[in-house]
Chain A
Amino acid sequence: DAGVIQSPRHEVTEMGQEVTLRCKPISGHDYLFWYRQTMMRGLELLIYFNNNVPIDDSGMPEDRFSAKMPNASFSTLKIQPSEPRDSAVYFCASSYRLNTEAFFGQGTRLTVV
């Protein structure tokens, strides 16, 4: 398996634009996590899915953020409209079960200008 695959690796967008981040988890993993990493706040869990169903989205900062998982092999994180304070590295991770190793993708570095 190629591991968790995220796209794009880098995204630069203007304030107010819609941004969509994509993730392909490792095949057979039942859990998918979206994290945001910044210097100030560290690694924050935004939302996680179990078998494509959102379980906990309490970390989603506000209504501008939404996440979907239409099938077991694909998830998106959308920000609409984007703001400069959304600039961060967004990681997707997957795990076979809860309380097992979470494998991270390479991340998407988002810059909103």
Chain B
Amino acid sequence: GENVEQHPSTLSVQEGDSAVIKCTYSDSASNYFPWYKQELGKRPQLIIDIRSNVGEKKDQRIAVTLNKTAKHFSLHITETQPEDSAVYFCAATGGQGAQKLVFGQGTRLTINP
């Protein structure tokens, strides 16, 4: 089945700097790659997603890139702010017929003022 690896597990950056989180997936049939943000004690919420027919997508300070050949995708956050501090999860569809959403282990991002 699908396996999603996420790095790093923790990331600390200065406010205003950029943060990059990387994920790799194993199932070449995967075609949907969302990113979720989970604040402490709260539910995961979608922040951006990308489909396999697109190489890059941007939404204000957040961007995601996808390299299907290498089977990896990345989240880029620019001009980081304290409210960006959270755990971020990547995910990929996988399993039979690429129908199962499998999550990475998560990255705890801390923005230092």
Contacts and interface: CB of A to CB of B under 8 A. Distances in A.
A43 B95 CA distance: 16
Most-contacted residue by chain A among B99, B102, B106 (CB, 10 A): B99
Contact of A106 (B43, B95, B102, B103): B43
A45 B101 contact: yes
A91 B51 CA distance: 24
Interface stretch (A21-29, A63-71, A74-82, A94-102): A94-102
A94 to B, nearest CB: 12
Contact of A45 (B32, B102, B105): B102
A35 B89 CA distance: 14
Nearest to A106: B43
Nearest to A33: B101
5 contacts: A35-B103, A43-B89, A98-B93, A104-B45, A107-B43
Among all A-B residue pairs, the 3 with the closest Cβ atoms: A99-B32, A104-B43, A43-B103
